[in-house]
Amino acid sequence: MEPAVVLRVSEVYPSTQGEGPNVGKTTVFVRFGGCNLRCPGWPCDTQHAIDPKYRNEWTKMSPESLEQDILTAAKQSGARNVTLTGGEPFLQPKEDLHWLTRELKAMDYSVDCFSNGTIAYPEWACDMINFIMDWKLPGSGENAANQIRLDNIERLDYGIQEQAVKFVIKDKLDFDVAKGLWKAYIEPKHGFETFYGRVWGVKLTDAELVAWIMAERLPWRLNRQEHNYIWPPNERGR
């Protein structure tokens, strides 16, 4: 199918990946505009990609012109990985995302996607994209038991890519809920890597969080959002 006309893009830039399985690798970030959630429990760090007041800053792009911008950024930086993020990338027309992903994979780029998991993933996406699913916890103010996310978890189990979930933890309640979800849905699925980190700027420290993880003997990986240690937190284009 031919790609449709419009993707809403907040920014495209090369940087180092600050979190998830490819932390430390150079990647091209494609930040799409728009999100179906608001995470009212703590401030979303990409207001410029979710708040409609920034909508006039989002560029409407065809998949072909977005591909050209990605390839230019990859050429400048040496990136061999592309990260789809937002906002929520899967709010964009899925046929456009499919076309773009196919093109990038055909040129041997790996494609990661940071997603909140609450939009149903098509089968092609589960087979072609490395998802890092941001599993919302009570501290975010969003629903931790979202049924579409649970359905996506089941779908990803049948994919051939490296899939991962990420828990962003605000307090002990969040940690306990994350542990329960992981034991119910993730632990039985071998190869599903789990990342954890704290909400940026809250009282909870990395040291406390690591102590909880070790006390429970959880095989999770600490996710520190390295970009926030390199550049000022929330700085755009980083």
Q: Which residues bind ligand SF4 (CB under 6 A)?
A: 35, 37-39, 44, 46, 50, 86-88, 116, 134
User: Judged by CB, which is closer to ligand SF4: 8, or 99?
Assistant: 8
Closest approach of ligand SF4 to the CB of residue 54, in Å: 12
Closest approach of ligand SF4 to the CB of residue 125, in Å: 17
Closest approach of ligand SF4 to the CB of residue 141, in Å: 9
Closest approach of ligand SF4 to the CB of residue 142, in Å: 7
Compute CA distances 185 → 16, 91, 135, 220, whole Å.
31, 25, 12, 14
Closest approach of ligand SF4 to the CB of residue 49, in Å: 7
Per-position b or e across 24-56, b if 16+ CB within 10 A of its CB: eebbbbbbbbbbebebeeeebbbebbbeeeeee
How many Cβ atoms sit within 10 Å of the Cβ of residue 189? 13
User: Judged by CB, which is closer to ligand SF4: 67, or 134?
Assistant: 134
* Rounded Cα–Cα distance for residues 189 and 183 (Å): 10
Q: How many CA atoms lie within 13 A of 76 on its CB side?
A: 12
User: Judged by CB, which is closer to ligand SF4: 11, or 88?
Assistant: 88
In terms of Cα–Cα distance, which of 181, 161, 5, 17 is closest to 85? Answer: 17
User: Judged by CB, which is closer to ligand SF4: 63, or 87?
Assistant: 87
How many Cβ atoms sit within 10 Å of the Cβ of residue 65? 13
User: Judged by CB, which is closer to ligand SF4: 70, or 132?
Assistant: 132
Tell me, what amino acid is at 74? A
Taking CB positions, which residue lies at the least distance from ligand SF4? Answer: 44
Q: Is 238 exposed, middle or buried (0-12, 13-18, 19+ CB in 10 A)?
A: middle
Closest approach of ligand SF4 to the CB of residue 43, in Å: 9
Closest approach of ligand SF4 to the CB of residue 115, in Å: 8
DSSP letters for 16-29: E--SSTTTTSEEEE
User: Judged by CB, which is closer to ligand SF4: 55, or 75?
Assistant: 55
Largest Cα–Cα distance of the chain, in whole Å?
A: 52
Is the Cβ–Cβ distance between 113 and 126 less than 8 Å?
Answer: no
User: Judged by CB, which is closer to ligand SF4: 200, or 212?
Assistant: 200
